[in-house]
Chain A
């Protein structure tokens, strides 16, 4: 517009100078020629002379205002070329004045292609041998534009005025590793852009890590990939050639995170592959071996389980096909249902601490086991509580085992007695040689105690053997003692009268208390019959020193003094009875007075060595002179057997050995009544009365007894479900504890039935052998047992070790095992502190078991 104004002023001046003539209207365009590139504009000016009307019309190739094909021009003369140059690239701009449309002025415009600009190369790197497609971006691109590759035009695809595409494949990397690219537009006005550099790299390399891994089902594995020689690092992941994997072989996501399948595929060896997104030939593979998962058990049905046949449903995770199950030490038959469920059948027995360990084992590849899952195991019937059953068995057996507790709970006490009375007695092997010592008999005794089914018989026999005492101090060979032990086993469920006879005629007793070869009196030589057997038979084996009431209390005379049962004279009279007996004759030898020592069978009489005079027995009964040795013996034992002391005396001793050290008079009275009838001396009735008495079943502060060492050691081992694997080396332990089995110090046994705890009125026989040395030996025995230092036995503590991670449960399990579930709270607190003081489960379990085993609450059975 400014230009137009300028020319208008100049025209006005011209008009004024030519005012005298009325000239014709003229028009002039300026410039009259121009060269113009597409995209540029050109402003044409015009000058109309000799007319007031200065307005004009503009034409492009005679088309007013132009067209899209020819370019357009507006009323101010601004021409804008078309986007595409027309075939004839010279066009005519014409201007016609409104004042005289016959006049015109023209200018020629030569149109040229635009100059391309090159702004972006995508990608700017390509790889050798890899087909490429490169976007070339910039401006002023024409369908006829070409990309110049190192100044050489190549096939170019026009996308838009701002984008071209080139494609191709480079087989060899040029020197320098790059090409120079530019864009050229053709004539008219041919022009070339600036250049860009294209890097030409070696082929893409894909590397997957980690390599050759094993992976358990149940946890994911993150693979990494490196892609070199290309800015595009993206890859596709394949499992066994399946992109992204699938449910069978596991899945892998875009980031390489591999999730194994829930079930091991038939072939667990997999190939993981990463493929470059930009070059399918650029791949890497790695082998992946799938392993079975580590199983876990989260719940079991039924819970608790009942002893006997079982069908379990086991839920959890990671169960592999072929998984096996162990339950309470026995294998189950397992059916695999899914990775989260197994079903299994089998049989479960009673368990240590009442807890069965369930362990699931997955097979190879990658065999592994689940952490133990504990399932309480209960008997099918509970006719007695666990605690009451355990207590009863503490008194009636060599210590409760998990199985014996459950069995008693299931069948009840009456059936249990019937079963015990009918059980075949344990046996002692025959001696191997005459020189075989007693340690073999100790071992056989302890083995029977730990494993025999005739538990009650053995306990009663042990008690009877501590009433009618013999000792290895005098007969220290196996063959000299085995017969006596067999006799006690047999006698335990017999009649006390029979036992008196068998004890009297036992060669072992004959040697121990000098009845064997005991000759009649010889006044000439001042020799009288040996009184030892007669004295101890009366004092220790049958009636005792003082007259007793039926309830075991002492009768007193008018001076309130105890009344002697018999006098020294009575002993002398009985001593005469027990004369004239010698060893049985060894088979094949002629029997004679003073047979060689032989211990199998009863002693045999020789009448000429039997004291022939009359004997005055208890109650003034007189045996006539001249009876045979056997007649006298039978009559004398009958005489003792009918004495009123016998029932309370023997009953009290048996009560002390089996149940409590301080029985009440009423308790003794009830048991003595059982002794007295209906069949006098029936030991089955006596034992049953002792063990079923309310006083035996009800703890009170003054009853109970210290477990004597033999019983303590067997009880501890049986509580822990001992497995006898050889010859139990327990005898040396009990000896250190003050009870050398089969070797009581004298006929007075290991301890006196009257021994009282020092400074108290509490009778406690077993405390006579509890002192500093033996108390430590008892603790040390527990230590030995828990640390595998008792030979010939094995105890499995794995249940306790696995519970050690849960201190409260461990303490409860130990309370059940040792203390019938009745561990005092203070003791629990102390044991918990010890457990928490260490981290190792093995030590935790052993420390806790040790503390409970050593505690007086366990040492004393109440």
Chain B
């Protein structure tokens, strides 16, 4: 995914300083403990019954120790550890917690600061990482507690953040498992509850639900309902339904068949009377992904959706 963003440093930084300071709980556990799943499933008392969970995963690309920095008394300890990576205290953007503690946001997060300070719509969940069970530093160093497998393998850690299974053996992602539980809320819509914006994300794979992946145009070209295209597409439908007995072939056929179905649903929704989005999104990779999410949310009624999960 490799989103390049000013405040995101290399994966190296994440691995060196992020994972080694894991102190609390696994991601899925955090999700549960914070009561988000019930909140997500619960219908609000008024207004439209629609909720979307939009997940942005930086695949280890964020130097979390430089996202929120202690200021004041804590700064010296920070600077001692980080050395040449430390952010000058003066450039940090102050944020004050409910408990009246002050931290500094990375200067690149100027656009986010007002959401926390003024709008009160931003929550920061700090010091979260993969763990098998709560583990102290001493326990980690002595090996007294089991730790996630391949703890320093970047690819394994990326998977564990998505499947919340630090001991492996889990083929579903936590977003997919949520989708399994909320899928019925969208009935009778056939549109998938979970949508990956950048591709096939382990996070969205459920036991009973399959995500779709939508990135940019989702159109089967040449399907213009001329006799020629109708003849072609009718035959394509048959060919994609052929039973080959070969897993690879069936999977490829299923992918295209599913894609054509989703394309039709999206096409129908976009052609509905829903007004287009007027908001401007940055023309960055992440901006484009957010715009894609917004477009799908915009046509939620036409798609018949009440709960959706997006993964970027």
Q: Which residues of A contact B (CB under 8 A)?
A: 471, 473, 514, 525-527, 530-532, 535, 539, 545, 564, 568, 571, 661, 701-702, 704-706, 736, 738, 745-748, 752, 756-760, 762, 764, 767-776, 778-780, 783-784, 787, 824, 826-827, 829-831, 833-834, 837-838, 840, 843, 847, 850-851, 854-857, 859-860, 862
Contact = CB atoms under 8 A, between A and B. Distances in A.
B171 A772 contact: no
B212 interface: yes
A833 B231 CA distance: 8
B83 A856 contact: no
Interface string B227-242: 1101110111011101
A757 B196 CA distance: 16
A738 B199 contact: yes
Contact of B255 (A525, A527, A756, A772): A772
A833 B12 CA distance: 56
B239 A862 contact: no
Interface stretch (B23-31, B38-46, B48-56, B244-252): B244-252
A140 B1 CA distance: 126
A850 B240 CA distance: 13
B158 to A, nearest CB: 8
A568 to B, nearest CB: 5
B215 A773 contact: yes
A775 B84 CA distance: 46
Contact of B244 (A736, A762, A840, A856): A856
A859 B240 CA distance: 12
Contacts of B210: 758
A779 B222 CA distance: 10
22 contacts: A535-B152, A545-B153, A702-B247, A762-B248, A764-B248, A768-B200, A769-B200, A772-B263, A773-B199, A773-B217, A774-B213, A776-B217, A784-B221, A824-B244, A830-B238, A833-B238, A837-B227, A837-B235, A838-B228, A840-B228, A860-B248, A860-B252
Contacts of B228: 837-838, 840, 843, 847
Contact of A779 (B10, B220, B262): B220
Contacts of B212: 771-772
Given A525-B83, A780-B220, A837-B231, A701 B246 contact: yes
Nearest to A762: B247
Nearest to A776: B259
Given A571-B152, A856-B244, A514 B10 contact: yes
A855 B239 contact: yes
A770 B248 contact: no
A830 B222 contact: no
A471 B4 CA distance: 13
Interface in B138-179: 150-156, 171
Nearest to A850: B232
B80 to A, nearest CB: 7
B252 A770 contact: yes
A545 B220 CA distance: 41
B59 interface: yes
B239 A830 contact: yes
Looking at B4, B228, B235, the one whose CB has the most chain A CB atoms below 10 A away is B235
B155 A752 contact: yes
Contact of A851 (B151, B232, B244): B232
Contacts of B282: none
For the complex of A and B, 7 pairs with smallest distance between CB atoms? A837-B231, A771-B213, A834-B235, A856-B252, A772-B259, A830-B238, A775-B256
A804 to B, nearest CB: 12
Nearest to A532: B12
B87 interface: no
A783 B153 contact: no
B253 interface: yes
A772 B258 contact: yes
Contacts of B193: none
Given A771-B196, A774-B213, A826 B242 contact: yes
Given A532-B12, A838-B228, A776 B213 contact: no
Contacts of B155: 539, 748, 752
A771 B256 CA distance: 8
A827 B239 contact: yes
Chain B contact residues (Cβ within 8 angstroms of A): what range? 35 or more
B185 to A, nearest CB: 22
A776 to B, nearest CB: 5
B214 A830 contact: no
A851 B83 contact: no
Contact of A764 (B4, B80, B81, B251): B251
Contacts of B11: 532, 746
B2 A745 contact: yes
A825 to B, nearest CB: 10
Given A535-B152, A762-B247, A768-B199, A775 B255 contact: yes
Interface string B70-82: 0000000000110
Given A748-B154, A779-B220, A856-B239, 15 more contacts: A471-B2, A527-B83, A539-B153, A539-B155, A758-B171, A764-B251, A767-B255, A772-B214, A773-B217, A774-B199, A776-B259, A779-B256, A783-B221, A826-B239, A851-B235
Contacts of A539: 153, 155
Contacts of A862: 246, 248-249
A859 B231 contact: no
| Centre residue among B84, B153, B216, B260 by max chain A CB count within 10 A | B153
Contacts of A833: 231, 234-235, 238
B10 to A, nearest CB: 7
A439 B160 CA distance: 35
A860 B240 CA distance: 13
Contacts of A826: 238-239, 242
A746 B59 contact: yes
B218 interface: yes
Nearest to A544: B153
B84 A525 contact: yes
Contacts of A702: 246-247
Nearest to A842: B228
A834 B232 contact: yes
A787 B247 CA distance: 31
Interface string B120-132: 0000000000000
Contacts of B242: 824, 826-827, 830
Contacts of B200: 758, 767-771
Nearest to B253: A856
A715 B228 CA distance: 26
A769 B199 contact: yes
Given A568-B152, A767-B251, A780 B239 contact: no
Contacts of B250: 856
B251 A526 contact: no
A527 B17 CA distance: 12
Contacts of A834: 231-232, 234-235
B242 to A, nearest CB: 5
A859 B2 contact: no
Contact of B218 (A776, A854, A855): A776
A772 B213 contact: yes
B2 A860 contact: no
A649 B231 CA distance: 47
A770 B220 contact: no
A771 B231 contact: no
